[in-house]
């Protein structure tokens, strides 16, 4: 799978992404609330990147990712992978600042939790360090969340019998060991639980806490069970909030993307106006296409684009009435005449631009029809193979720049007209094939055929029905039911062999 395909199919979940160069070496590791949005931003043309990031992007040959359940899990996983692999650009993009760590001190009876850097003055030798992390602000928020859950102190206090708790105790960020508000054993248990979460083992932590709550409840230690329950709820709430935040961000991103799309479409419409020298912006564009197999079951399609976006309420199908062999020109004439007849014009708004799928021949027919109907509408045809635009009275074809918004817009409209025509053609073909199979059954007239299709809905259901079910229909006895089964099964087997 190519790099562009990988980026296109990235999930919108949180996780960690790894950029690799051609040799397979990891050159950068990052985390994201939405892998799709974050990774795609590196390859967006209009996105402003620093020189270092531009240098990194040039070396990216492959993208790998790991999905996580929450932003915190992504933060912890990113930290472990950066520490293990030490990617070149993770160091280069830090502007010579050292990475942040989360530190839990171990050199005193009541450990403290801090955000530190390696050269920080508050860093202690006797401590457990978790990291490095790449995002200081996210790490700072993580420490605050951990303290709100486990009530671990953040101060430099060394004495634990002061008798007066600080403000952190009042606002629920500390259990105040300095004022002897908690026993050492209980405090160390909370530190251990916090370490489990920092190690990315929050599922184990939640399992242990739920077991502890259950035992406390069975022993009728209801106050303790309630406290454990509150801790569980806080942990789950943090994870839930992160998921909710990602949902909100996804909606926000969709609004931003919608604005980007609208701007892109407007540029495309203005480009078409300039390239085709139209007197006004082509806000309403209609595109026409013909689909048939050697002149049989021919259909026409009309798709409508309002301000560059599909207006499906105005889409139309045309079952071609012309039955004199293969003649795409005559079929196009029929579709345009039916669309722009006096009856239709009373109900429908006239388009600012008509797009015909085809070359000069199709353009000549369309021009002739509009002249006969006395409709001076802007008209252009798109030759599929060369992707050239032809206009009436303009000798040379127009080649739109292949990277222009106008080119992308005209392609999208033409492809939609082709898809819409093809889908209708396939629907008619399936209906004809379905009905023709029943015609092979002797003794089945229109009335019984209608009864069969009404009851069983499809040929497959008729073929798979039991003899008893078939005989429930009026006029179908055992002999006729067996004929139906035999002939449909033979036709089905023959079709599979083909």
Residue 304 — very low, low, confident or very high, per pLDDT cuts 50/70/90?
very high
Q: Give percent above pLDDT 70 in the chain.
A: 77
What does the pLDDT read at residue 151?
85
pLDDT reading at 244 higher than 50: no
DSSP alpha helix (H) spans, 401-477 = 405-438, 446-456, 459-464, 467-471
What would the 3-class secondary structure string for 363-404 be? Answer: HHHHHHHHHHCCCCCCEEEEECCCCEEECCCCCCCECCCCCC
The residue with greater pLDDT, 90 or 243, is: 90
Per-residue pLDDT tens over the stretch 466-495: 888 888 888 788 888 887 777 666 555 444
Q: List the structure tokens of 452.
A: 């069969």
Superfamily name with CATH number, domain 439-497: 5' to 3' exonuclease, C-terminal subdomain (1.10.150.20)
DSSP for residue 467: H
**Fold match flag (284-430 vs 439-497):** no
What does the pLDDT read at residue 392?
92
**Distance of alpha carbon 270 from alpha carbon 121, whole angstroms:** 60
What does the pLDDT read at residue 249?
46
CATH number of the 284-430 domain: 3.30.420.340
Element (H, E) at 259: helix 222-276
Question: Assign residue 497 a region: left if phi > 0, alpha if psi is -120 to 50, beta otherwise?
Answer: alpha
**Distance of alpha carbon 411 from alpha carbon 382, whole angstroms:** 9
Least confident of 173-177, 192-196, 229-233: 229-233
pLDDT reading at 371 higher than 80: yes
**Distance of alpha carbon 452 from alpha carbon 461, whole angstroms:** 10
Residue of 181, 192, 197, 186 whose CA lies nearest to 234: 197
CA angle 292, 293, 296 (to 5 degrees): 75
* Residues in CB range of 362: below 8 A, 6 or more apart: 328, 329, 332, 356, 381
Mean local confidence (pLDDT), 197-219: 77
**Distance of alpha carbon 423 from alpha carbon 291, whole angstroms:** 9
What does the pLDDT read at residue 95?
45
* Mean pLDDT, all residues of the chain: 78
Residue of 73, 52, 63 whose CA lies nearest to 29: 63
Coil, strand or helix: which one is 60?
A: coil
* Residues in CB range of 448: below 8 A, 6 or more apart: 473, 475, 476
pLDDT reading at 390 higher than 90: yes
* Residues in CB range of 26: below 8 A, 6 or more apart: 18, 19, 20, 85, 87
Give the CA distances from residue 105 to residues 146, 174, 386, 478, in Å, rounded to whole numbers and listed in that order: 15, 15, 70, 87
So what's the architecture of 3-92 in CATH? 3-Layer(aba) Sandwich (3.40)
What does the pLDDT read at residue 274?
92
Residue 429 — very low, low, confident or very high, per pLDDT cuts 50/70/90?
low
User: Which residue's entry shows tokens 């106006």?
Assistant: 273
DSSP string, 202-245: HHHHHHHHHHHHHHHHHTT-HHHHHHHHHHHHHHHHHHHHHHHH
Please tell me whether the peptide bond between 132 and the residue prior to it is cis, using omega within 30 degrees of 0: yes
Residue 245 — very low, low, confident or very high, per pLDDT cuts 50/70/90?
very low
Mean local confidence (pLDDT), 148-174: 78
DSSP string, 73-129: HHHHHHHHHHHHH--HHHHHTTTTPPPEEEEEE-SSSS--EEEEETT-TT--SSEEE
Coil, strand or helix: which one is 154?
A: coil
Domain boundaries, the chain: 3-92, 284-430, 439-497
The residue with greater pLDDT, 304 or 223, is: 304
Q: List the structure tokens of 485.
A: 């089964």
What does the pLDDT read at residue 317?
87
Residue of 304, 305, 337, 343 whose CA lies nearest to 318: 337
**Distance of alpha carbon 294 from alpha carbon 479, whole angstroms:** 40
pLDDT reading at 86 higher than 50: yes
The residue with greater pLDDT, 376 or 101, is: 376
What b/e string do you get for 335-361 counting C-beta neighbours within 10 Å, with b at 16 or more? bbebbbeeeeeeeeeebbbbbbbbbee
pLDDT reading at 496 higher than 70: no
Give the CA distances from residue 249 to residues 44, 255, 257, 259, 458, in Å, rounded to whole numbers and listed in that order: 18, 10, 12, 15, 45
Q: Are 163 and 119 in contact (CB under 8 A)?
A: no
Least confident of 30-39, 109-118, 442-451, 465-474: 442-451
**Distance of alpha carbon 190 from alpha carbon 115, whole angstroms:** 18
């Amino acid at each position: 799978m190519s790099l562009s395909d990988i980026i296109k199919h990235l999930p919108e979940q949180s996780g960690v992404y790894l950029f690799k160069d051609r040799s397979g070496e990891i050159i950068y590791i990052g985390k994201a609330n939405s892998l799709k949005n974050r990774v795609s931003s590196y390859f967006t043309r209009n996105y402003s990147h620093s020189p270092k990031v531009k240098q990194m992007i040039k070396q990216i040959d492959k993208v790998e990712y790991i999905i996580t359940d929450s932003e915190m899990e992504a933060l912890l996983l990113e930290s472990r992978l950066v520490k293990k692999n030490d990617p070149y650009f993770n160091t280069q993009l830090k502007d010579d600042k050292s990475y942040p760590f989360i530190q839990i001190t171990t050199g005193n009876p009541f450990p403290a939790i801090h955000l530190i850097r390696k050269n920080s003055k508050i860093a202690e030798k006797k401590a457990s360090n978790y990291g490095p992390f790449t995002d200081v602000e996210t790490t700072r928020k993580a420490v605050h969340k951990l303290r709100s859950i486990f009530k671990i102190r953040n101060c430099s206090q060394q004495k634990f019998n002061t008798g007066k708790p600080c403000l952190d105790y009042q606002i629920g960020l500390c259990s105040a060991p300095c004022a002897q508000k908690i026993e050492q054993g209980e405090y160390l248990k909370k530190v251990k639980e916090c370490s489990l979460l920092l190690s990315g083992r929050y599922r184990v932590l939640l399992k242990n806490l739920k077991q502890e709550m259950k035992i406390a409840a069975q022993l009728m230690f209801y106050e303790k069970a309630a406290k454990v329950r509150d801790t569980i709820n806080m942990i789950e709430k943090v994870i839930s909030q992160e998921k909710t935040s990602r949902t909100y961000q996804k909606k926000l991103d969709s609004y931003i993307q919608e604005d980007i799309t609208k701007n892109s479409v407007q540029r495309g419409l203005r480009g078409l106006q300039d390239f085709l020298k139209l007197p006004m912006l082509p806000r309403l564009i209609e595109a026409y296409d013909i689909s048939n197999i050697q002149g049989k079951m021919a259909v026409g399609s009309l798709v409508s684009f309002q301000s560059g976006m599909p207006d499906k309420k105005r889409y139309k199908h045309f079952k071609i009435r012309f039955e004199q062999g293969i003649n795409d020109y005559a079929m196009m004439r029929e579709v345009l005449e039916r669309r722009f007849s006096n009856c239709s014009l009373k109900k429908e708004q006239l388009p600012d631009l008509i797009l015909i799928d085809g070359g000069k021949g199709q353009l000549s027919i369309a021009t002739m029809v509009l002249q006969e109907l006395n409709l001076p509408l802007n008209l252009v045809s798109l030759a599929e193979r060369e992707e050239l635009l032809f206009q009436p009275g303009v000798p040379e074809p127009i080649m739109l720049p292949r990277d222009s918004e106008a080119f992308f817009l005209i392609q999208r409209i033409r492809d939609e007209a082709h898809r819409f025509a093809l889908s209708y053609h396939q629907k008619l073909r399936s209906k004809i094939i379905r009905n023709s199979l029943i015609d092979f059954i002797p003794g089945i007239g229109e009335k019984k055929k209608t009864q069969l299709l009404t009851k069983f809905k499809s040929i497959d259901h008729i073929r798979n029905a039991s003899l008893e079910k078939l005989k429930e229909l009026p006029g179908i006895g055992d002999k006729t039911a067996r004929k139906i089964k035999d002939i449909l099964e033979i036709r089905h087997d023959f079709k599979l062999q083909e």
